[in-house]
Amino acid sequence: MRVARATSLRALVVLVAASTLACGDPHVSLATGPREYVAGDYSDVLQRWTRTSNLVSLSRFDDLLTVTSTYESWDFRWAYVIRYANDYRLTVDQRRKLLQATLDETREAHQFYVALYGSNRRWTDLTKPNSSWIVRLIDDQGNETAPAKIDAIAKPGALERTYFPYTTPWRQAFRVRFPAQTDGRPSISMTAKWFGLRFAGAEGNEELRWEVESAAKGAAGELRR
């Protein structure tokens, strides 16, 4: 019975992994510049910039770590401000100032909204020195960058649960900031084919990746619009 159960559980994990790979995640563009978003576009933009990964122990069938994260890119921030301004009925001038301020932040740092849970809540607090997990910004060019700052969102409210709907009472939420440059070089290479977050610890490691579309493909897309 135990062998059969273990076999079926392994098969389930393989099936879930295969389904995830089959679906795939959209490529993203790191290009800056004006966007023409309306408030209704926010959900699609959020999905484009959000990734989820699971680290499961097959021997114990424990969910060691489940992470969902949104990269708050130039593109994402533009859509976010448009939605936020619509919801809060900001004036045109208020929206313009908010948009300028949030876009300026992208020149200084790469910021991620992170919501996660694991087998032990105390071990998954990324702000604690004894956390079971460390997080790094990585890319395919070999760059690996430590966070400049990790802020815990102690009690996510209506704003987090509305604009990042994967936020739940069972997940811990954080904003993780990485410097845009380290030692005078971009922390995400200009030629990177992908970048992502790596969560690593004694129990294993997992990565969330954002595949970057080529400059040529991005330019062609702009022309088609």
Q: Which of 173, 136, 134, 168 is nearest to 153 (CA)?
A: 173
Number of domains in the chain: 1
Range of the domain at 115: 2-224
Q: What sign results for the dihedral spanned by CA atoms 90, 167, 71, 24?
A: negative
- DSSP β-bridge partners for residue 110: 178
For residue 56, the model assigns a pLDDT of 77
pLDDT at 15: 34
pLDDT of residue 8: 38
Looking up tokens 């070999």 gives 142
CB 49 within 8 A of CB 210: yes
- The first and second tokens of residue 189, run together, are 């290479």
- Residue 63 to residue 56: CA distance in whole angstroms: 5
Q: What is the DSSP letter of 139?
A: E
- pLDDT, tens only, 92-141: 999 999 999 999 999 999 999 999 998 888 889 999 998 999 999 999 99
What's the pTM value of the predicted model, to 2 decimals? 0.85
pLDDT below 70 — which residues of the chain?
A: 1-23, 57-62, 215-225
Question: How much is the pLDDT for 4?
Answer: 38
Residues 224 and 216: their CA atoms lie apart, in Å, by 13
Q: Cα–Cα distances in Å, from 53 out to 64, 69, 218?
A: 11, 9, 26
